[in-house]
Amino acid sequence: MPKPVVVLVGRPNVGKSTLFNRLAEERLAVVDDVPGTTRDRIVTEVEWGGVLFDLVDTGGIDPTPATMGKARQPLSIGSADFIKEIRQQAEMAIQEADAILFVVDAEHGITSADREVAEILRRKQVERDGQRWPPVLLVVNKADSAARRTEALQFYELGIGEPYAISALHGTGTGDLLDVLVATFVSRGEEQEDESVKIAIVGKPNVGKSSLLNRLLGEERAIVSPIPGTTRDAIDTHMVYQDLPITLIDTAGIRRRGKIDPGVEKYSVMRSMRAIERADVSLLLIDATSGITAQDAHIAGYILDSWKSVVVVVNKWDAVPKDSYTMEAYTQHVRQELKFLDYVPVLFISAKTGQRVERVLPTALQVQEERLVRLSTSQLNQILQGAQDQHPSPSRAGRQLRIYYATQVRNDPPTFLIYVNDPQLAHFSYLRYLENRIRAVYPFLGTPLRLVLRPRRQAD
């Protein structure tokens, strides 16, 4: 059975992301004093009392102009251009929820925006077995003192139910809240480990990552804007493609280190890097109209340094003047500038028009399948013996590298342990030659290979 989905909702700046990080026990959501910092939905797995559930953080729901009263400035100062989209994202998350944590602020008391959110939740609930579904827990945050906890009782006025006073910042009351939350879940049996294929969409800002995500999903799941830096969090989106579960991870654009602003953007880039590390395959998006940049090469290097598989996706191909040779020439340009050999597939798409987008997921899944391939020991040793017979390694100071025995010790990524007379005799060019000979038998599409040399005496 799937894990329950718990969604955090509320107006801006009530501490939803702080509570998200508290329950996740790590800093996943961007926290900033500027209201409206969180824009998209972000998801993490939480365990409490042996029960696993997915926790979803959403952007703050701003009041509509009709309920703003005298206030003329939107609450989401940090995301004022995206109020409508943020509301849509939050309402979509509510529709997917098995339980909702409605977060309010004890410091400021009940506001018109709180009342509007409460009304939205009531409209979204449906009758199920004589009860309102999904269940809503009213969480009164910033109750940092006994007086604040007493004032929390005023939130009964919202008609949501019992208010649970907590302090997300200090952790006060969160354990009791989790006890109540877990008790609302219907027994779901043994939870299964997430075995979905994880595909990260990465690249520099404004190359069309969120547009590609939405095109793959067929819905407006991530906010799309021509303004670089719209996506601030790494967003997990679960889908099923040809009966195979997939997790798509949309990430914030990764800028050059010297261009990264401190604070919110710094944490966004860190999360994008971590998204690469936990992904099986990364889709590296390139802007066809601007060509290969140093930052594209930097991101490609980070993917390979993490030993992750990769598909290069050249986006905005519809905007490039071309003839019958343009695609081939651009492919060679990509391989030369990003230092990729032929093992990395290069796709040319337009997320805007949908051109060739249907090839993205099949290619990524093919790369993932080859990442998990394991060669037999006899097959591997035949390959390496044939390589030595055809092209012996050059000698150094009168000594020559000798390969005695090899075996594949793991996949994900494919790692080959090779016992030799002296690892110091192995020149990187000869290791590249051995890698190419292995790929000639099995290509390991889009996947880096690790060749680990050990002196023979360590084989005992």
Measured distance CA(371)–CA(280) in Å, rounded: 9
CATH fold group of domain 5-183? Rossmann fold (3.40.50)
Q: What does the pLDDT look like over 270-308, one tens digit per residue?
A: 556 777 888 899 999 999 998 898 888 888 888 888 889
- The dihedrals phi and psi of 29, each to the nearest 5 degrees, come to -90, 145
Helix (H, G, I), strand (E, B) or coil at 290: coil
Q: Virtual CA dihedral for 408, 411, 413, 417, nearest 10 degrees?
A: -20
Are 197-371 and 377-459 equal in CATH topology? no
Measured distance CA(372)–CA(357) in Å, rounded: 24
Answer whether 171's CB lies under 8 Å from 17's CB. Answer: no
Specify the pLDDT at position 227: 46
Domain 197-371 has CATH 3.40.50.300: yes
Residues of the chain where predicted confidence (pLDDT) is lower than 50: 1, 29-39, 66-83, 86, 187-192, 224-225, 227-232, 257-268, 458-460
Q: What does the pLDDT look like over 183-218, one tens digit per residue?
A: 887 544 434 456 789 999 998 888 888 899 889 988
Specify the pLDDT at position 130: 65
DSSP code of 2? P
Would you list the domain boundaries of the chain?
Answer: 5-183, 197-371, 377-459
377-459 — its CATH code? 3.30.300.20
Measured distance CA(246)–CA(169) in Å, rounded: 34
Answer whether 155's CB lies under 8 Å from 163's CB. Answer: yes
Specify the pLDDT at position 187: 41
Specify the pLDDT at position 266: 42
Specify the pLDDT at position 26: 66
